[in-house]
Amino acid sequence: MVEKVLSQDYKALYSDACAIIEEARHRAFRAINTYLTLRNWRLGERIAREELDGAERAEYGKGVITKLSKDLTCTYGKGFDFSSLYQYIRFYRLFPEILDAVSPKSPKVDAVSPKLLPWTHYRELIRVENPEARKWYEQEALREVWSTRTLHRNIASQYYFRLLQSNDKDKVSNEMRRLTEPMQQDKFEFIKNPVVVEFLGLQPNTDFTETELESSIISHLQKFIMEMGKGFAFVGRQQHIRTDMGDFYIDLVFYNYILKNFFLIDLKTSQITHQDVGQMDMYVRMYDKLKRTEGDNPTIGLLLCSETSEDMAQYSVLHGSEQLFQAKYLTYLPSKEELRREIEQQKQLFLEQQND
């Protein structure tokens, strides 16, 4: 009897404790959301005042933003590159009413209107050119509490325009909810976003993007590539790439000072797919555009899968590369057999450690 009463009392205690924790988390997330959004709007408004209209001011404005970007990055780290600052200006110009959501008499978070979306949502919305569609997506994201991934998916799939043209709007809406249901489940989507990490001035923690096996294999591959010699210098691990489609992380990045090119490695826990190949091609092209300097040769991407197969490694080089370079690369890069052996060796070691 005592145990039964204790069990009932404990259920109530546990339920109340969970409610307190969830409420605190919600308020904390809301506070970060609010101040990040307002910071970017205010930066956009301030920079826009400096970037005056007129052709004679165009070069001046570009020069100011370039210098501001470098100085802010030097002082505060990531989040203030040239393209980000222009995003903030566009945000201010497309959403001039944002400041109206804040009470001028109180700077408290609780004074902020619930009509204010997180910055990650506005980053998606400013890409929508049609004003009516942009406003509709904003209102629906607020009303339906869409996650950033859901909003991105709906914009990319032209959900607004498909609804307008459909005679069976319920069918279109039901399909959208079914397809985006998994995107609505992640309670920690916002706090895991690297934009938030940058805003808080924290070091990015990308552990959530790796399984223990993946992490173990990647660590071993990093050591293996360096021990090969052949001109490899380590650049970074889980290197952050931000695109209009979202945030990506390249597992390993090297620079080969003999070949004079970047070398990217991405590991997959399953069989390589054509989507993986397309993603690696995107990485390669972005590196050639953003990182490659005069005198550097084309960037190389290497896709690996942790499953053993005859095609477990696939090299990706820009289509415009000369065959001479491709042939030269093969004498410096690890062979498929070497990579297969190293991955299998690390998998076996990992399993033995787990068993112990």
In tens, the pLDDT along 289-298 reads: 878 888 888 8
pLDDT value at residue 128: 92
If one compares 308 and 10, the residue with the highest pLDDT of the two is 10
- For residue range 5-57, what is the model confidence (pLDDT) as tens digits? 557 778 888 888 988 988 887 787 778 888 889 999 999 999 888 765 554 56
Helix (H) or strand (E) holding 303: strand 300-305
Q: How far apart (Å, rounded) are the C-alpha atoms in residues 139 and 123?
A: 15
Distances from the Cα of 263 to the Cα of 219, 269, 276, angstroms: 16, 20, 17
* pLDDT for 332: 57
- In angstroms, what CA-CA distances link 100 with 91, 94, 97, 137, 225? 15, 14, 5, 20, 55
Phi, psi of 201 (to 5 degrees): 75, 30
Percent of all residues in the chain with a pLDDT value above 90, rounded to a whole number: 11
pTM score of the predicted model: 0.58
Is residue 125 within 8 A of residue 137, CB to CB? The reply is yes
List the domains of the chain with CATH numbers. 2-200 (no CATH), 207-355 (3.40.1350.10)
- pLDDT over 80 (residue 253): yes
Calculate mean pLDDT across residues 51-75.
Answer: 75
Each residue of 146-186: pLDDT tens digit? 888 888 888 988 888 988 888 888 888 888 888 888 777 66
pLDDT of residue 90: 93
Q: How confident is the model at residue 327 (pLDDT cuts 50, 70, 90)?
A: very low
Return the sign of the alpha-carbon dihedral for residues 232, 233, 237, 243.
negative
Single-letter amino acid, residue 23? E
pLDDT band at 2 (very low <50, low <70, confident <90, very high): very low
Of 259, 257, 266, 321, which is closest to residue 288 (Cα–Cα)? 321
Residue 248 pLDDT:
75
Across 124-132, average pLDDT: 92
Question: Phi and psi at residue 130, in whole multiples of 5°?
Answer: -75, 120
Compute the distance between CA of residue 163 and CA of residue 140 in angstroms, rounded to an integer: 13
> With bands split at pLDDT 50, 70 and 90, how would you rate the model's confidence at 190?
low
Full 3-state SS string of 7-45: HHHHHHHHHHHHHHHHHHHHHHHHHHHHHHHHHHHHHHH
Q: Please report which helix (H) or strand (E) contains residue 144, including its range.
A: helix 131-144
Of residues 189 and 297, more confidence is placed in: 297
**Helix, strand, or coil (residue 176):** helix
Mean pLDDT comparison of 77-81, 119-123, 261-265, 339-343, highest-scoring range? 119-123
- Two tokens, residue 90: 């566009």
Residue that the structure tokens 């952050």 belong to: 240
pLDDT at 227 over 80: no
Structure tokens belonging to residue 69:
């970007």
**Average pLDDT value over all residues in the chain:** 75
Give the residue with greater pLDDT, 75 vs 205.
Answer: 75
- C-alpha to C-alpha distance for 110 and 23, rounded to whole angstroms: 13
Could you give the CA distance from residue 79 to residue 69 in angstroms, rounded to a whole number? 9
Percentage of residues in the chain with pLDDT exceeding 70?
A: 65
- Beta carbons within 8 Å of 80's beta carbon, 6+ residues apart: 68, 69, 72, 73
- The torsion angles phi and psi of 300, rounded to 5 degrees, stand at -115, 135
Q: What is the pLDDT of residue 319?
A: 45
